[in-house]
Structures are given as C-alpha cells and as structure tokens.
Structure 1
Amino acid sequence: MPLTIDFNLYLISDRRQAAGGDLIRAVHSALRGGVRAVQLREKDLTARELLPLARELRQLTREYGACLLINDRIDVALAVEADGVHLGGGSLPVAETRALLGPQRLIGVSTHHPAEIATAAESGADFVTFGPVYFTASKAAYGAPLGLAALRGACANAPLPVFALGGVTADRLPELLASGCRRAACIGAILAASSPETVARTFLKQLDIATTI
C-alpha cells in the first residue's frame, strides 16, 4: 500500500535557477514559506559532489519537518537518511528500489502518460509527477508540452497522488485546479523568485483552499 503523501507542493532543485545562485538560501526561504517536500535534482553532479549538498538539505528539511527526496541516487539517499527517492526513465525499477529502501521511504516516479501512472502504482510507487504540462526550458528535451487535457486525463481516477510538473506557476494554478489536479511540482517559479518564501505561500494558499472544497 502506498505511503501517505501529506504535502501538495513539491519543490525540485536546480541550482542554476536559484536566485543569486544560492540553492541552499533559496530552499531555506521556500521552507519558511511552507514547502514540505524537496527533491534534490542536480543530475550533472557526481555522487561525491552531491553528498555534501544532500547533507545540507537534510539538515534544513529536518528543521522544518519537511521531506527530502534524492533524484535517482539511492546510495546518496541512504547515506543522508533522506525520506526517499525520485525515479526517472533511466532509474532502477520501482520494485528493486523498494527492496533497497525498505517500506517506510517514499518513492516518486516521473510520468508522461496515464498508462505510466498505472504502472508506477502497480510497481509500488507512492506518488508521481506528470508533465511537462506547459513549455519549460528544463523539460524541452522531453518533447512538446502535454497540456491541460492530458493532465485532466491523468488525474481522473489516478490510483496515487499526481503532481503537475513543467511550467507550473502560481498564476497557472487556477486552470490546473480546474483540470482536477490538486498537487503541483515546480522549480524556477519558486527558486528563481526574489522571495521564494512569498511565492511558496501563494502556491500553498491556492492549493490548500482547493483541497478543502
């Protein structure tokens, strides 16, 4: 049975987009704004380079009672006692990852089609990201944006939580919510802001209202 997902905003790291080039400072600000889940996703770093960054984020997220997930690197996740990992198309399968992590750590999976959501659920994932919904430079290599109709289809009767990803901004949340999505994942909209804290609060206000309706 999937673990409970008690957050509706998922912040994904990209140190190149962080305001002032300071990822730790930007994430800290976002945590002050209420973010409760952070994915460390710096795919160009080696495990040795990623480890100290993961340790810093582990300390920060613990201070705020937030989850930390590591993109792909199960070894780094275990080394820093992260709350889980996020898997992409080239990662280990969910079942093998679960065997390594155990039953109490989260596993997120990147998906781009409703069938992939079903497969992730059947394999034992706890949640998925779905996208890119809108065009975004960070996801341009994955093809054209999927759009709101695809998001609506992905969220309809989804067997596990779905986070809309790709070009997600606070201004676009109303139409995401209208598509039946109640969770959002983002990078630059928060990290690149002059005040990640303020933007995170704006996101969460809209998402929290939606979940109570």
Structure 2
Amino acid sequence: MTVKEFFEKFKAPMFWGNLLAMLVVIIFLCFGLKWWLASYTHHGEGIEVPNLYGMTHRVAVHRLDSIGLVVVANDSSYVEGLPAGAIIQQNPAPGMKVKSGRIIYVTINSLTMPCERIPDLIDNCSYREAEARLKSLGFELLSPKLIDGEKDWVYGIQYHGRNLVSGESVPRESELTLVIGNGSLGEEKDSEGSDNGDSDAFSSDEIDDFLEVLE
C-alpha cells in the first residue's frame, strides 16, 4: 500500500462514520457511569450528625437509629461532673453531613474513677513537695496529721485511715492525709545539745581552783 492509498482511506465515509459512532458510545458510557456512581453513593444527599455530648449510650443509639445512623462506643475516659456512661466525644463531629448507615464512633464517660499510683514520697521528701506532687495527680489533701519527728518531713500517707505504700493505686480525686513531723525531733536534739554544752562548760569555782594550782 502506497502512502497515497493510505491517506485516501481517511476520506472514506465509512471511516468517519465508525469514528463518530465510537465517540457517541464513549460519551454515553461516561454519562452512564456518572449517573450510576451518583445513584450508588447518594451524591448530594446527607444526614446531619446530631450533638451527642452528655447523652447516655442507650439514648444515642435510639436517636441515631431513627435517622439511619449507627452508634459504636470505641473508647472510654473520665470527665468530672458527667454521669457514668455519658458520651463525651464523637466522630464525625456534630453538624457534619454523612451518608445513611454511617457509623458514629463515641467515647463514653468511664463507669469508675481512674486510679493513680502513689509516688515515692514517704520518708523521702518534705510536706511542701509531697503536697505539690499529689495535687498535680488529682488528689485532694486533708489537714496533715502531726507526729513526733523532723518538722514537715513526710512519714506516711493515709487514705480513709489506712496507711498507703509507694506504688499503690488509689482512685483519682481521693482525699489523702499526709503524716508529717511536728518538729519535736529537732527540739529534742537542740535540748540534748544544750545539756551537753552545759555539762562540758567549767564553773567559775573550778576555774579559780585551776588558777590557784597554777600559782
């Protein structure tokens, strides 16, 4: 086939007719695919996610089921002031538009108060340091209990009258009592030191006798 015969085929009506038919088929396929995707994914349709904060899990399930959504609790945490089992977080956020059947993941308020471990404070630090560390962990401190010992030194930690040990887990926000020294130990040492000083000192009569001997 010569080059001239090859280019003459492009002038044939059948060639252009087939090309036009193929183009029409491709256009129809594109529009058909777009319509099918819009119908399958409900394009342009959406359900607004309600605000579930503070609701119990049971109420949230009932409410979202009525509008075609699903609630799944996937985590728990603790927020003071909210009842146990109340929803404290959700994903997707309130106000977002989602498709029917979408799962709304929620975090519920813990049924029990989380615990914290007692740090190594007993016979290891002062009252001021222990107070700061325990408050930072969320504990409440009652008036300290005073015993004989070095002033403001921590000798123990009590919870409901029971002595705690380092590393023991106690519910957060519990009321603890620090057992600290009242300073009597230091006063005893001072008094003992002063008594020893008096016994070691010479009296005026002893000094006079000592001088007479030298003379």
Q: TM-score, normalised by structure 2?
A: 0.16
Higher strand share: 2
TM-score by length of 1: 0.17
Between 1 and 2, higher relative CO (CA 8 Å, sep ≥ 6) is seen in 1
